[in-house]
Amino acid sequence: MLCFSDLAVLAGAWERSRQEFDDELRTLCKRLELRKQEYTRECRKLAGRSARVERIFLRIWGVDDSHLEGRIPKTRERASPNTGDARVTRCDDLAIETEEREEMERAIAAIANTIRDSPLTSDRAEDSALERDRYTVFAPLASAYWVEHTSTGFRHAIWKMETFNHVAPISIRALQFLGNITDAHVKECKTQMITMPTGRRSWRRQKSDCDVFLHLKYTSRVMEPLSIRKMINETLARIIGDDTATWLERMMIEWTYNASIASRLCKPVEVFCDFNVAQWMEIYDPEQCPCRTRRYADMRSPASLNLLQSEGHTHVITIDSSVTDNPLMQGIMNSGLNHIPCMALDIDVAESEVGEFLDRLMARVMELQELTASTRSFLRRVILKKARAKMSRYKEQHRHVPAEPFERELEFLTGRFLICPTDKAPNTPVFVCKNFIRKLAFQRLSGPEFASIAAPPAAVVAQIQELCANLPERIFSVFTADITKCFETIPTDNSEDGLPAAVRFYVQSAMQVRRERSSCHTIQIRVGDGGKLWPSWVSDRQIEGMGTMLFGEKDICWLSDWCIADSVLRMGDYVWRQVRGIPMGLACSPIWCDIYFFKYAMMRLADTGNAHLIPYFSDTFSYVDDLGAINNTIIRDFMKKEGREADDPCWIYPAEYIELKENTEVIVDGGGCKANFLSMTITITSPEAGTFITSKHDKREGLGFTPCRYVKYRSNRYTKQALQVVTAQVAQILLLCSEPHDAASEINKVVTTMMGNGFAKDAC
């Protein structure tokens, strides 16, 4: 009766120590005979236990259970575990291990405490125990050993067995071994989730214990062998002593890099702002446009004619890097806009950068400051000598690494084309004729959303993780939709349906709650190093000091009104104000969208006396113009347009401003539906049972071209840090994919892409 968990636990014990392995082996040997007896007994009783649980479910749901007569063995009534008013949750009937049982009991107790005073139980005191038990009866009945042994008859395909109500055949300790997770890691992970006032769970950002943050510039690939912290610690230990081991504990060392090619290629200011409009209009002739030459004949797009019908000519809109005939330039641009061109392996430049870093280090670390000047100088020389030796050996072995000069044809390209990121593939450059994009911009500015003004313009951020953390255990319906033109159509006037009114309502409500909870209800913005802003709550009696700004309720509303009213943009030497809608590029625009849609969803239901419908939206999520609703069967009623009455509870969005377009897919065989929300795909496998699977949704698939993904090996970046993208992607995949084969497939895609980018297979 050995199972996978036993082998994994033994393997973990072997890695820790021989003594622990011997202890685990002796313990396992003692359990095997007992496990055999328990397995025989379980096979005899499991059918009756499963039938008993099924009857409980059926009676809760009010469904006939007569087909179970004779299948449930009669058992002797046991004394209630209740003691006084304290309800004790029992999991003794569940065939799970001790650690898992204790964890489940704690979870059930927490759920029971949460719902004890809920509307489901408070109105019917006589049935309170039964009502609370509704939330605790669904639990694995069969042991991991039974599941693993029985699944061999199905080639380990557990999902093909009679019921999906089985615990995965692996114990917590085995899982810890496979993930190389210690008990301390598990406890720490559980503390990372916080419960919001709304009841939803959210990830808590981990606070850094570092006091000193220093950056070392990665000048070229010659710095690849440098592990600067290790090198400094080894030198300090050898020269000063072992007491220096803690000197750098509270210091964070990070790499900084040269600018990517996007900073040299993407120049929207030069295209849209830094030119004389009158002079350009005078000399511009569509027939003489540079992109009309024979060289670009295959790159001119019919889409340009559809977008700008008055032009009468097609223009270049392409992702083809052969807009330049320089092969080196083509290779650099094909690497993606995030590519950093490789530099010459110059040891002197790298050594100088390390020397400047050491100077900053010795000025910031208190223990190093207390050393004598001669000692600090000696340490500096030793570290630089060791660094130079490492870099010299690396250069000797990698003489073939070429530099990538990036100046050729740069002016030619940026003079003719606007080079910008592609939608849904931001690292892939698209080349657009500069004259065409200017004409298209002027056509857009001539619409009713903008008004020309004389004055120049004044100088003026984990949704998907929250969604994963708050998915319910059962999903019976799913709905997703796009809010079309949500930025352009939001009214910005002072009417009841305007954005300023929604912002004022939200700010006033938030500040009222803040005043009820704390005396600190003024926001202080402190300007830190590099212009970084640090917000905090302070008392309303706080005095504004140097480098700080204070914002009360009225200040926030005024500032928001000013930003809405003064959304201006410049085209050449002319200025326009946006008079309808909100600017897509403004940092606060996504927040404005959330505020506006919240007010016209939840608050309208409350104002029309339909607050009882609000719980239907408990599992509804939105991000800017994407809307996703789970277990909300009435959501489609909110999309109707005809025959609306003023008191219609389904009319939560002003129809003249907001339009919802559903993009939920119905599975062909009618067995469920599928919906994509942000980076997740939710597929309902059984609408009756509420079973579902989740997988990763990649909007870049099906674009018609192969986008640039992640970073290239030959990019001028520290290789170990560049490979962290694999860790980040795998973490996201494991969070999004509920099926092992889906996760394995997505991880394989990441590894394949990184290998295609030049990284070694073993490194990935």
If pLDDT is split at 50, 70 and 90, which confidence band does 430 have? Answer: very high
Residue 332: what pLDDT?
Answer: 87
Query: In this structure, is the dihedral angle defined by the CA atoms of residues 438, 439, 442 and 448, taken in order, positive or negative?
Result: negative
> Does 377 have pLDDT greater than 80?
yes
Phi, psi angles (nearest 5°) of residue 576: -125, 145
- Cα 333 from Cα 319, distance rounded (Å): 10
**Mean pLDDT to the nearest integer, 391-409:** 80
Given a contact cutoff of 8 angstroms between Cβ atoms, the answer to whether 478 and 686 are in contact is no
CA 644, CA 576: separation in Å to the nearest integer? 37
Q: CB neighbours of 664 closer than 8 A, spacing ≥ 6? A: 478, 479, 480, 481, 673, 674, 675
Tell me how long the chain is.
Answer: 764
**What backbone phi and psi angles, to 5 degrees, belong to 488?**
-75, -25
The secondary structure of the chain in percent helix, strand, coil, rounded to multiples of 5, reads 45, 15, 40
pLDDT in the model for residue 125: 40
Q: How far apart are CA 525 and CA 413, in angstroms?
A: 42
Helix axes 18-61, 4-16, angle to 10 degrees: 140
Q: What is the mean pLDDT of residues 181-198?
A: 65
Give the range with max mean pLDDT: 165-174, 182-191, 590-599.
590-599
Q: Return left, alpha or beta for 251; rule: phi > 0 is left, psi -120 to 50 is alpha, else beta.
A: beta
Q: Give me the pLDDT at residue 494, please.
A: 83
pLDDT at 747 over 70: yes
* Residue 218: predicted pLDDT: 93
| Average pLDDT score, the chain | 76
pLDDT of residue 469 exceeding 50: yes
Please give the radius of gyration of the chain, using alpha carbons only, rounded to the nearest integer.
32
- The pTM (predicted TM-score) of the whole model is 0.62
Provide mean pLDDT across the span 162-173: 54
- Our measurement of the distance from residue 42's CA atom to the centroid of its chain's CA atoms, rounded to an integer in Å, reads 44
Amino acid present at 101: R
Task: Lowest mean pLDDT of 80-84, 213-217, 423-427, name the range.
Answer: 80-84
For residue 294, the SS3 value is helix
pLDDT at residue 168 tops 80 = no
Q: Are 502 and 495 in contact (CB under 8 A)?
A: no
Alpha helices in 91-157 (DSSP H): 98-115, 119-122, 128-133, 144-151
Section 662-679 average pLDDT: 68
Q: Which of 633, 632, 694 is nearest to 464 (CA)?
A: 694
What is the pLDDT confidence band of residue 632, given thresholds at 50, 70 and 90?
A: confident
CA–CA dist 318, 436 (Å, integer): 13
Return the minimum-mean-pLDDT range out of 5-9, 187-191, 501-505. 187-191
Most confident of 59-63, 434-438, 540-544, 738-742: 434-438
**Residue 760, pLDDT above cutoff 50:** yes
CA distance 611 to 649: 9
Asked whether the predicted pLDDT for residue 355 surpasses 90, the reply is yes
Would you say residue 684 has pLDDT above 80? yes
Q: Give dist(CA 149, CA 755) in Å, integer.
A: 39
pLDDT in tens, 543-578: 887 888 888 888 988 988 888 888 888 888 888 888
Residue 646's pLDDT band, with cuts at 50, 70 and 90, is low
Please state, in angstroms and as integers, the Cα–Cα distance from residue 165 to each residue in 134, 161, 192, following that order.
16, 10, 29
Q: Which of 54-68, 161-175, 673-687 has the lowest mean pLDDT?
A: 161-175
**Crossing angle for the helix pair 499-517 and 553-565, to the nearest 10 degrees:** 160
As a whole number of angstroms, the distance between CA 294 and CA 301 comes to 14
Inform me whether the pLDDT recorded for 99 exceeds 90: no
Residue 652's pLDDT is 60
At residue 96, does pLDDT exceed 60?
A: no
Lowest mean pLDDT among 232-236, 253-257, 390-394, 480-484: 480-484
Amino acid making up residue 98: T
Which range among 264-273, 283-292, 399-408, 698-707 shows the weakest confidence by mean pLDDT?
A: 399-408
pLDDT tens, 494-532?
887 788 888 888 888 888 888 888 888 888 888 877 677
- Provide the edge-to-edge strand list for the sheet that holds 417-422: 300-301, 315-318, 425-433, 417-422
84 pLDDT higher than 50? no
Contacts of 680 (CB under 8 A, 6+ apart): 464, 467, 468, 694, 695, 696, 697, 736
| pLDDT for the residue 116 | 43
DSSP string for residues in 357-400: HHHHHHHH-HHHHTS-HHHHHHHHHHHHHHHHHHHHHHHHH-TT
Q: Answer whether residue 32 shows pLDDT above 90.
A: no
